[in-house]
């Protein structure tokens, strides 16, 4: 690992090195532009295929930022479809649960009923309507596609790119072979609403510069070491609008008492020190570093995927207002086969979650101060490359 000065920005000089403005984090007008030109135009990761394994399985996703609620359902033919969750009669929300399994969807308001493929099947007191064309009154579909088991939707009625084109070949092949499917049988997840702009939240999870300060007690020595005191990254590779970072571990770290106990049973924490000589999934540890920790994919606009050996996790940041964000965290791992395995997973869950609580401590405080107007700009260092790229990409979307 070569620690160097400004090496990432030398690799991507087009991003510049200057400060970036505070306005995108606090302005309601900017937020409306993000809504219209980014969230209503791009592919958004809304979940995993494992959420709906069987025909008739569905889940509902409230997409406040796109002013809609989405119903995602697996049809009798095994296809995954997505619809605006809305009855064609007077617009009532069709499904009120967050998930379930059914044969048909029946509106609680007047009983109109839809098939799993979205077509309208039953109109209550139909003969009292006036020449309805039932075949034109199905649920309104949305563009939907999957990649590595992640379900993406696009609320644009006519998406400008297919999902595979939007993700791009570079990003897609960078992670080829990672066993997302095998690792997705078990999911621990949380969400919360934080009073911060969605980018304040995302920024906090797409740089590790803060680890040696904010997390010094929990994971201060997990990534940072004497040789690499600020946990500088092994690699940054950009696939605009997306990007990837690769992180090393501190090989000299001593496990705590309970960590030593846990270790024998496989934990859901990001495995911290994965030797390159071990069998690692293809498409990780791009530099082949002997003490690799994890790789992070930043999918524009609002999704981060962190992959390690034996476990991966996602952060998704759903804007609500310019000052409010629903933050979703999901960690994936294989099912534990024994109670000992469950204990070990529990430990991983707790220590990861505690780290999240520390991370979150800055979010609302930062938003409060950004709103003060005291400063018009913030400054970024070399290791905050993904934050800088996010800003530049956003500008290009807003000015397109």
Partner 1 sequence: MSKRQLPEGFQDLEPYLEWSLATDRERSIKRQTSPMTKITAFYQAVVPRMDEILAYLEQYPLEQVPADAQRLFYLTLSLAKIAPAVEMYGEPVPEGLDTLRLENIDIYPTRS
Q: Which residues in this chain contact a second copy in the complex, by CB under 8 A?
A: 5-6, 9, 17-18, 22, 25, 62, 66-69, 84-93, 96, 107-111, 124-125, 127-132, 137, 140, 200, 203, 209-210, 212-214, 229-230, 232, 361-362, 365-366, 368-375, 378-383
Stretch that binds partner 1, among 79-87, 173-181, 187-195, 226-234 (CB under 8 A): 187-195
350 contact, one of a second copy, partner 1, none, CB 5-8 Å limit per kind: partner 1
Place of tokens 């999704």: 303
**150 binds partner 1 per the rule CB under 8 A:** no
CB of 82 to partner 1, least distance (A): 16
CB of 262 to partner 1, least distance (A): 8
Q: How many CB atoms lie within 10 A of CB 350?
A: 12
For partner 1, the closer CB: 30 or 209: 209
Place of tokens 């000015």: 399
Stretch that binds partner 1, among 18-26, 80-88, 136-144, 261-269 (CB under 8 A): 261-269
**397 binds partner 1 per the rule CB under 8 A:** no
**140 binds partner 1 per the rule CB under 8 A:** no
Alpha-carbon distances, residue 110 vs 124, 125, 130, 303 (angstroms): 7, 9, 16, 38
For partner 1, the closer CB: 108 or 375: 108
For partner 1, the closer CB: 128 or 338: 338
CB of 157 to a second copy, least distance (A): 9
Token pair of 173 as six digits: 């092949």
What are the backbone angles phi and psi of residue 288, rounded to the nearest 5°? 65, 30
Query: Is 200 within 8 Å of 370 (Cβ atoms)?
Result: yes
337 contact, one of partner 1, a second copy, none, CB 5-8 Å limit per kind: partner 1
Alpha-carbon distances, residue 127 vs 94, 122, 123 (angstroms): 22, 12, 9
Token pair of 190 as six digits: 């949380």
Helix and strand totals (H; E) in the chain: 12, 20
Positions in 75-104 near partner 1 (CB under 8 A): 96, 99, 101
Question: H/E element holding 295?
Answer: strand 291-299
Query: Is 211 within 8 Å of 362 (Cβ atoms)?
Result: no
278 vs 268: CA distance, rounded Å? 18
284 vs 282: CA distance, rounded Å? 6
CB of 142 to a second copy, least distance (A): 8
The helix, strand and coil proportions of the chain, stated in percent and rounded to the nearest 5, come to 30, 30, 40
For a second copy, the closer CB: 175 or 380: 380
**46 binds partner 1 per the rule CB under 8 A:** no
**50 binds partner 1 per the rule CB under 8 A:** yes
258 contact, one of partner 1, a second copy, none, CB 5-8 Å limit per kind: partner 1
Query: Is 317 within 8 Å of 198 (Cβ atoms)?
Result: yes
Greatest distance between any 2 Cα atoms in the chain: 79
For partner 1, the closer CB: 78 or 257: 257
CB of 127 to a second copy, least distance (A): 5
**114 forms bridges with which residues in the sheet?**
105, 120
For a second copy, the closer CB: 104 or 260: 104
Cis peptide bond upstream of 24, omega within 30: no
164 vs 159: CA distance, rounded Å? 12
**357 binds partner 1 per the rule CB under 8 A:** yes
Stretch that binds partner 1, among 128-136, 168-176, 338-346, 390-398 (CB under 8 A): 338-346
- Give me the sign of the Cα torsion angle 265, 267, 272, 275: positive
Q: Which residues of this protein are in contact with partner 1, per CB under 8 A?
A: 47-48, 50-54, 57, 59, 96, 99, 101, 108, 187-192, 194, 217-218, 256-259, 261-262, 265, 328-330, 336-340, 342-343, 346-347, 349-351, 353-354, 356-361, 363
């Amino acid at each position: 690992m070569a620690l160097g000065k400004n090496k990432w920005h030398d690799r991507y000089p087009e991003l510049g090195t200057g400060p970036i403005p505070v306005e995108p984090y606090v302005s309601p007008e900017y937020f409306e532009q993000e809504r219209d030109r980014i969230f209503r135009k791009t592919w958004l990761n809304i979940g995993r295929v494992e959420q709906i394994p069987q025909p008739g399985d569905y889940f509902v996703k409230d997409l406040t930022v796109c002013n809609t609620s989405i119903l995602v359902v697996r049809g009798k033919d095994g296809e995954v479809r997505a619809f605006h969750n809305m009855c064609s009669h007077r617009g009532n929300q069709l499904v009120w649960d967050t998930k379930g399994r059914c044969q048909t969807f029946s509106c609680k308001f007047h009983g109109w009923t839809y098939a799993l493929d979205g077509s309208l099947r039953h109109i209550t007191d139909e003969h009292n309507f006036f020449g309805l064309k039932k075949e034109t009154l199905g649920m309104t579909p949305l563009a939907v596609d999957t990649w590595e088991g992640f379900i993406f939707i696009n609320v644009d009625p006519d998406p400008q790119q297919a999902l595979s084109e939007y993700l791009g070949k570079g990003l897609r092949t960078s992670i080829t072979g990672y066993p997302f499917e095998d690792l997705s049988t078990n999911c621990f997840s949380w969400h919360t609403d934080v009073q911060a702009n969605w980018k304040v939240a995302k920024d906090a999870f797409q740089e590790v510069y803060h680890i040696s300060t904010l997390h010094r007690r929990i994971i201060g020595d997990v990534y940072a070491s004497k040789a690499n005191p600020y946990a500088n990254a092994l690699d940054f590779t950009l696939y605009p609008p997306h990007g990837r970072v690769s992180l090393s571990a501190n090989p000299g770290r001593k496990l705590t008492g309970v960590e030593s106990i846990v270790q024998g049973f496989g934990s859901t924490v990001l495995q911290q020190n994965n030797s390159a000589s071990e069998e690692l999934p293809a498409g990780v540890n791009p530099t082949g570093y002997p003490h690799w920790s994890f790789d992070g994919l930043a999918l524009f606009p609002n999704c981060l995927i962190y992959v390690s050996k034996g476990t991966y996790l996602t952060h998704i940041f759903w804007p609500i207002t310019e000052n409010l964000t629903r933050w979703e965290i999901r960690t994936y791992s294989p099912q534990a086969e024994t109670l000992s395995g469950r204990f070990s997973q529990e430990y991983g869950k707790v220590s990861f979650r505690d780290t999240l609580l520390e991370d979150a401590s800055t979010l609302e405080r930062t938003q409060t101060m950004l709103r003060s107007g005291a400063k018009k700009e913030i400054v970024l260092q070399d290791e905050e490359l993904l934050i800088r790229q996010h800003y530049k990409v956003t500008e290009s979307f807003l000015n397109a």
